[in-house]
């Protein structure tokens, strides 16, 4: 039993702790001591609870069950994060724009929009990214790697999420349901965009005028009105367009379709 007094001092950084056990665990962050070894592989851990959680990867044990659906998880933190998809809880708030998030990592990534921080640099070119996942996906442009193959057809994908979404074309699965009208979707972004028709939300704001849009692609197309950018060139003549549909419509003049 401890008194609540922080009388145990770290000799490396002078942090104080209420118990000798807490101090001992903390010191391992300095010494890199990892006394707990996995019985299935060579990985080692500084804390027994970290070892126990890791070993569930090998055993398949998922002791934490969602109270809203049948999904189970190896970690309590993963369960809590998942349950927010049911409750809509977003406890992490951006201090600069008040936008809220269900996960702290999403908040951290979002805040880089404000700071402009892009810590992840491509090893093939000079492009930088705010997320390691975006860097990894980008580098596949250079390597042409598509490691995730559809289990139903020949198509391959750069990201497992893209493969899962694609496979729903085969399975007909539509796990995302609109809370306003019950309409179902096979992708969370499709649901989010659809729900804006009910809420009237238009989060993508033009930097040149006060117009807002439900999709970033619609914003990008609109901003070309201001910038004069016309990236789509007719293969038959020199005319250029700011939308692919305008290009296709024009190209029919040449093809006679």
Instruction: Please tell me whether the overall predicted TM-score, pTM, comes out greater than 0.75 for this model.
Output: no
Total domains in the chain come to 2
Contact 73, 62 (CB under 8 A): yes
Position 237 pLDDT exceeds 60: yes
68-107 CB burial, b ≥16 within 10 A, e <16: eeeeebbeeeebbbbbeeeeeeeebeeeeeeeebbeeeeb
pLDDT band at 31; cut points 50, 70, 90: confident
Position 6 pLDDT exceeds 80: no
Separation of alpha carbons 103 and 80, rounded Å = 10
Range of the domain at 123: 94-143
Asked which of 10, 45, 61 is the last residue of a domain, the reply is: 61
pLDDT band at 4; cut points 50, 70, 90: low
Report the pLDDT averaged over residues 31-53. 88
Asked which of 109, 143, 177 is the last residue of a domain, the reply is: 143
Q: Which residue has the tokens 């500084």?
A: 46
Position 18 pLDDT exceeds 80: yes
User: Are 1 and 57 in the same domain?
Assistant: yes
- Report the pLDDT value the prediction gives residue 151, as an integer from 0 to 100: 92
Tens of pLDDT, residue by residue over 156-203, are 988 888 898 999 999 999 988 998 999 998 888 889 889 998 999 988
CATH of the domain at 127: 3.30.160.60
Per DSSP, what are the bridge partners of residue 9?
A: 16
Among 55, 27, 28, 26, which Cα is nearest to 41's?
A: 55
């Amino acid at each position: 039993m401890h008194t609540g007094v922080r009388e145990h001092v770290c000799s490396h950084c002078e942090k104080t702790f209420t118990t000798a056990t807490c101090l001992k665990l903390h010191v391992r962050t300095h010494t890199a001591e990892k006394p707990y070894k996995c019985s299935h592989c060579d990985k080692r851990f500084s804390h027994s609870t970290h070892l126990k959680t890791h070993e569930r990867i090998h055993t398949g044990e998922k002791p934490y069950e969602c109270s809203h659906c049948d999904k189970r998880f190896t970690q309590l933190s993963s369960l809590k994060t998942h349950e927010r998809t049911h409750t809509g809880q977003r406890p992490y708030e951006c201090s600069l724009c008040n936008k809220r998030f269900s996960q702290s990592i999403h908040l951290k990534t979002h805040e880089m929009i404000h700071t402009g921080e892009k810590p992840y640099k491509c090893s093939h070119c000079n492009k930088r990214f705010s997320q390691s996942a975006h860097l990894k996906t980008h580098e596949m442009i250079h390597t042409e790697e598509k490691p995730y193959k559809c289990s139903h057809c020949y198509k391959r994908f750069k990201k497992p999420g893209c493969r899962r979404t694609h496979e729903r074309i085969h399975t007909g699965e539509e796990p995302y349901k609109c809370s306003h009208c019950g309409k179902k979707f096979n992708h969370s972004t499709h649901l989010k965009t659809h729900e804006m028709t009910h809420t009237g939300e238009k989060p993508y704001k033009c930097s040149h005028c006060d117009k807002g849009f439900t999709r970033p692609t619609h914003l990008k197309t609109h901003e070309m009105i201001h910038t004069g950018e016309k990236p789509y060139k007719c293969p038959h003549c020199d005319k250029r367009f700011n939308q692919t549909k305008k290009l296709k419509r024009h190209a029919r003049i040449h093809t006679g379709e």
